[in-house]
Amino acid sequence: MTHDVTHTLPDELLLAYGTGALPEVFDLVVATHVSLCDDSRARLESFDAVGGALLEDTAPMAMDEGSLAACMARISDSPAAAQRPARRPGIFPEPLRKAVGGDLDKVAWRPIGMGARQAILQDTRGASVRLLSIPPGAAMPDHGHRGLELTLVLQGAFEDEFGTYRRGDVEIADEEIDHMPRVLGDETCICLAATSDRLRFHSLLPRLAQPFLRI
Amino acid sequence: MTLAPSTEERWLALIARIRSRDQEAFAELFRHFAPRVKGMLMKAGSDAATAEECAQEVMATVWNKAAQFDPARASLATWIYTIARNRRIDMARRAARPEPEDLPWGPEAEPDQADALAFQQESRALADAVRRLPDPQRKLVEQAYFGEMSHTEIAEVTGLPLGTIKSRIRLALDRLRREMTRP
């Protein structure tokens, strides 16, 4: 289920997500990828361990008098512990399912030509998150990028000059990358793609991208 | 001869009691962690009243989600840190940030105790390494984790010895996946 992911997220991006420093637009891609890739999850959770160590060592600030009592009152009305969540059918891990309001059948697709479709989930001043559906045999026109772009495969596969990408794999591209992704196999390729606004993140992104893109 | 239980064993016993809805165990956990969560949030820039309120909410979440804590993948401090961190980010954004799918142990399955204990000891070693960081470095790491984002120095964090912890989490996830796919 999660063992064949070959293109994972680099430590820098996982750490930035973990601490909340990553531009918001990439959060959904990271959360969805981590749900599909145990290697990335293990690295993300190991970064959290540093946060735990810092918390343990933080100088305690006295809580108000009656604080424990107030919290006890709060918890005594709360229901019993949650059960293990049921695994749901479909191709969307939980964070994406939440963002869409369901699985593939709930996506509001719009045609974008040549049989391809997209559904924009979020678009704020040029920073966007969208689902893409590209039919078998299709190739995206050769294109460059504004800012950083993360593309996560959810179904099917595509390839470009940098490799082959299947379910769970993320391709990382930026201003320096021009590529022409082509759908592999006979299954429609469904991807989640997030693109940042170049102006807003101009100084941050090259720094994040540098160690793994070697730009 | 009986050995006194280690700190790690005592924490694990405490969370097990909280899972079976033991309020006294919860009070003990609260007294230790709530003031630290409050301290963390104040370092991140919260005023005392907000940090107080938020620390209470974080501890209430600990009670509600106790069944989801996996001692083979996180220390108690780490798990509580992530709850506080998520709360801090959600408040700053006024929206719930997308989080990875939960992979909790259900009430009918428990992680291997030996795995859990080994992991807890590894966490202790990391905590010691963090404690030994020279002051300026430690400040940078704290800024990165507690909300005063500092991208230029984020490399300091990746210099910490996280390899073993990462491999142990990976093994725990493999075990968990096998357990979850069992009919």
Predicted confidence (pLDDT) per residue in A60-71, tens digit: 999 999 999 999
Decide if A54 and B73 are in contact by the 8 Å CB cutoff. Answer: no
The mean predicted confidence, pLDDT, of chain A is: 84
- What's the pLDDT at B36? 98
pLDDT tens digits, one per residue of B113-127: 888 889 999 999 888
- Mean pLDDT, rounded, for B165-170: 90
Decide if A49 and B84 are in contact by the 8 Å CB cutoff. Answer: no
Q: Pick from B99, B86, B80, B85: which is nearest to A85 by CA?
A: B99
- What's the pLDDT at B175? 84
Interatomic CA distance for residues A123 and A61, integer angstroms: 40
The mean predicted confidence, pLDDT, of chain B is: 85
pLDDT tens digits, one per residue of A128-168: 999 999 999 888 766 666 678 899 999 999 998 889 999 99
Q: DSSP character for A141?
A: P
Interatomic CA distance for residues B44 and A19, integer angstroms: 12
Structure tokens at A134: 């590209």
B 98-137: CB under 8 A from A:
98-102, 104-109, 123, 126-127, 129-131
Decide if A47 and B162 are in contact by the 8 Å CB cutoff. Answer: yes
Range from A76-80, A208-212, B24-28, B174-178 carrying the lowest mean pLDDT? A208-212
Cβ–Cβ under 8 Å, residues A127 and A149: no
Decide if B82 and A81 are in contact by the 8 Å CB cutoff. Answer: no
> CB of A20 within 8 Å of any CB in chain B?
yes
ipTM of predicted assembly, 2 dp: 0.90
Range from A89-98, B54-63, B103-112, B138-147 carrying the lowest mean pLDDT? B103-112
At A67, is the secondary structure helix, strand, or coil? Answer: helix
- What's the pLDDT at A210? 40
Structure tokens at B143: 């800024």
Strand partners, A149: A173, A195
Three-state helix/strand/coil letters over chain B: CCCCCCHHHHHHHHHHHHHCCCHHHHHHHHHHHHHHHHHHHHHCCCCHHHHHHHHHHHHHHHHHCHHHCCCCCCCHHHHHHHHHHHHHHHHHHCCCCCCCCCCCCCCCCCCCHHHHHHHHHHHHHHHHHHHHCCHHHHHHHHHHHHCCCCHHHCHHHHCCCCHHHHHHHHHHHHHHHHHHHCC
Inform me whether the pLDDT recorded for B71 exceeds 60: yes
- What's the pLDDT at A212? 36
Inform me whether the pLDDT recorded for A78 exceeds 70: no
Q: Name the minimum distance, in Å, from the CA of A191 to any CA of chain B.
A: 17
Of residues A4 and B155, more confidence is placed in A4
Phi and psi angles of residue B140, each rounded to the nearest 5 degrees, phi first: -65, -45
B 5-34: CB under 8 A from A:
19, 21, 23, 26-27, 30-31, 33-34
At A213, is the secondary structure helix, strand, or coil? Answer: helix
Q: Are strands A182-184 and A189-195 parallel, antiparallel or unpaired?
A: unpaired
- Mean pLDDT, rounded, for B78-107: 88
- Mean pLDDT, rounded, for B53-72: 93
Q: Pick from A113, A117, A85, A120: which is nearest to A99 by CA?
A: A120
Which residue type occupies B56? Q
Of residues A41 and A197, more confidence is placed in A41
Inform me whether the pLDDT recorded for A102 exceeds 80: yes
- What's the pLDDT at B138? 82
**CA distances from residue B129 to A23, A47, A95, A115, B122 in whole angstroms, order as listed:** 29, 14, 34, 55, 11
- What's the pLDDT at A85? 62
Q: Are strands A149-155 and A157-160 parallel, antiparallel or unpaired?
A: unpaired
pLDDT tier at B4 (50, 70, 90 boundaries)?
Answer: low
In a mutational test of the A interface, the residue from B31, B99, B108 whose CB has the highest number of chain A CBs within 10 Å is B99
- What's the pLDDT at A199? 38
- pTM of the predicted protein model: 0.89
- Mean pLDDT, rounded, for A84-109: 90
Of residues A131 and B176, more confidence is placed in A131
Residue of B nearest to A10 (CA): B158
Interatomic CA distance for residues A147 and A206, integer angstroms: 9
- Mean pLDDT, rounded, for B103-108: 65
- What's the pLDDT at A201? 42
Cβ–Cβ under 8 Å, residues B75 and B126: no
Inform me whether the pLDDT recorded for A22 exceeds 90: no
Range from A169-183, B100-114, B152-166 carrying the lowest mean pLDDT? B152-166
Q: Name the minimum distance, in Å, from the CA of B69 to any CA of chain A.
A: 11
